[in-house]
A and B are shown apart, each in its own frame.
Chain A
């Protein structure tokens, strides 16, 4: 067989137990960069409803993993991504919102947190309905050989979730529940609780994107 000239993707390797050094050095115990990346996506001028996303990541025995790196990528409040390939020019860009952040689960509690805004709905693939508001999540850690992709949807958007082209495809339907974050009002703010199960009875839906 003739081999076409495509280059194969570089293989993934685990991020290991010391991923913090490279990506969130403050958690490793030191500061080095003038402008480190972090888990606060909002600035003073960001448009949209302020929310916190909070949760834990559980292993196959139900123990919280305390060394997981999480990153999120999301649209702005109008439902547009801050990226040149997003051609939804009928929606405004928000210069105060990149839509990306990263953090690690805490060594003591296993909790992760992001301070962000609730995204708007994004156009679906050609021929499909708009996607319900969602946050794309990617996680990497010791024991995870290749990064895991999932999505967080909002449990207070039942009508939009019902029509979402990605949620609709997941069978059995009960597994869609693993992608719903639970809205809580706490300390005068809105918190969405989103736990991730790497394995076991409530294994989260992960995507091959």
Chain B
């Protein structure tokens, strides 16, 4: 029996936030303190769940319509689109992209969110889509509002959209957040600043993409996402199986 021994390129932890980032206070009690055990990939890491388009509804990626009850939600009509690639620059096809966000006033439809801004009766605040053969995805929404959170007395989150990516293997699994170019709250955000490298932080800031806007209808932002790439297996030693 031959089993492909493909594996992902080792994660560059220098591009990633450390588990413990005291500026984000909640991380203090929730960060492992012992070293992670490095694990060469086996099938358990290289494989992962496969999702089919038939599992998604036709409006799942359209947050303007997927919870509309009496009309459409209030806010700036916005398209967010981009491409999911791996570190080798190849598009990641057929991968599940899920998003969630606050409404235009900065309020989440969540039983634990008690912020003053009102719930929008026509906005659920979540969506999902599967990338096409080139790794491209797009969804439509309203631009989320900034909101306060309990960290320091006067901590505010810049407008952001949460992203979840399944990848093709379980070790590619990623959750992140996308920000909007030009938001003055970005430089002081305690969450974004958990990432030490300024260039890495900048990659979470989506530029306005006027060419992808729909004239007289919706603005657009572009957010490309990179998941871990696979390592080429050149000159691999063939060990004896047992």
Chain B: minimal CB distance from A76 (Å): 12
Q: How far is the CA of A118 from the CA of B229 in the complex (A)?
A: 30
**Could you tell me if A7 and B226 are in contact, using CB atoms closer than 8 angstroms?**
yes
**Could you tell me if A29 and B111 are in contact, using CB atoms closer than 8 angstroms?**
yes
CB neighbours (8 Å) of B154 from chain A are none
How does the 8 Å CB contact mask read for B132-143 relative to A, with 1 for contact and 0 for none? 000000000000
A208 closest partner in B (C-beta): B36
**Could you tell me if A131 and B37 are in contact, using CB atoms closer than 8 angstroms?**
no
CB neighbours (8 Å) of A147 from chain B are 173-175
B32 within 8 A of partner (CB): yes
**Which residue, of B1, B192, B201, has the highest number of chain A Cβ atoms within 10 A?**
B1
Q: How far is the CA of A107 from the CA of B56 in the complex (A)?
A: 27
**Could you tell me if B50 and A98 are in contact, using CB atoms closer than 8 angstroms?**
yes
B215 within 8 A of partner (CB): no
Chain A: minimal CB distance from B242 (Å): 6
CB neighbours (8 Å) of A50 from chain B are none
CB neighbours (8 Å) of A99 from chain B are 49
Q: How far is the CA of A52 from the CA of B46 in the complex (A)?
A: 25
**Could you tell me if A85 and B32 are in contact, using CB atoms closer than 8 angstroms?**
no
Overall SS of chain B's interface? loop
Q: How far is the CA of A13 from the CA of B27 in the complex (A)?
A: 12
Q: Chain A interface: which size bin?
A: 35 or more
CB neighbours (8 Å) of B110 from chain A are 17-18, 20-21, 28-29
**Could you tell me if B30 and A141 are in contact, using CB atoms closer than 8 angstroms?**
yes
Question: If A25-B126, A82-B50 touch, does A9 touch B12 (CB 8 Å cutoff)?
Answer: yes
Question: Which of B1, B38, B109 interacts with A88 by CB under 8 Å?
Answer: B1
Question: If A12-B176, A19-B100 touch, does A73 touch B48 (CB 8 Å cutoff)?
Answer: yes
**Could you tell me if A143 and B169 are in contact, using CB atoms closer than 8 angstroms?**
no
A149 closest partner in B (C-beta): B171
**Could you tell me if B175 and A15 are in contact, using CB atoms closer than 8 angstroms?**
yes
**Which residue, of A59, A126, A140, has the highest number of chain B Cβ atoms within 10 A?**
A126
B152 within 8 A of partner (CB): no
How does the 8 Å CB contact mask read for B110-122 relative to A, with 1 for contact and 0 for none? 1111000000000
**Could you tell me if B31 and A199 are in contact, using CB atoms closer than 8 angstroms?**
yes
Q: How far is the CA of A128 from the CA of B241 in the complex (A)?
A: 6
**Could you tell me if A6 and B40 are in contact, using CB atoms closer than 8 angstroms?**
no
**Could you tell me if B170 and A9 are in contact, using CB atoms closer than 8 angstroms?**
no
How does the 8 Å CB contact mask read for A166-208 relative to B, with 1 for contact and 0 for none? 1001100000000000000000000000000011000111111
**Could you tell me if A71 and B173 are in contact, using CB atoms closer than 8 angstroms?**
yes
Interface of chain B residues 81 through 99 with chain A (CB within 8 A): 85-89, 98-99
How does the 8 Å CB contact mask read for A1-31 relative to B, with 1 for contact and 0 for none? 0000111111111111111111101001110
**Could you tell me if B29 and A59 are in contact, using CB atoms closer than 8 angstroms?**
yes
Chain B: minimal CB distance from A36 (Å): 10
Q: How far is the CA of A169 from the CA of B44 in the complex (A)?
A: 16
Q: How far is the CA of A25 from the CA of B57 in the complex (A)?
A: 15
B74 within 8 A of partner (CB): no
CB neighbours (8 Å) of B126 from chain A are 21-22, 25, 32
Question: If A16-B162, A29-B109, A126-B238 touch, does A205 touch B18 (CB 8 Å cutoff)?
Answer: no
Chain A: minimal CB distance from B158 (Å): 12
Q: How far is the CA of A196 from the CA of B122 in the complex (A)?
A: 38
Question: If A8-B200, A73-B170, A207-B37 touch, does A88 touch B3 (CB 8 Å cutoff)?
Answer: yes
B39 within 8 A of partner (CB): yes
**Could you tell me if A144 and B19 are in contact, using CB atoms closer than 8 angstroms?**
yes
CB neighbours (8 Å) of A34 from chain B are 57
Question: Which of A11, A30, A67 interacts with B16 by CB under 8 Å?
Answer: A11
List 15 other contacts, CB 8 Å, given A21-B126, A61-B29: A5-B89, A7-B85, A8-B200, A18-B100, A22-B126, A25-B126, A60-B31, A86-B47, A87-B1, A90-B1, A134-B44, A143-B29, A151-B44, A203-B33, A208-B13
11 sampled A-B residue pairs with Cβ under 8 A: A11-B176, A11-B195, A16-B177, A84-B50, A88-B43, A99-B49, A123-B3, A136-B170, A146-B17, A169-B37, A205-B34
Chain A positions within 8 Å of B, measured between CB atoms, are: 5-23, 25, 28-30, 32-35, 59-61, 65, 67, 71, 73, 75, 81-90, 98-100, 107, 122-129, 131, 134, 136, 138, 140-149, 151, 166, 169-170, 198-199, 203-209
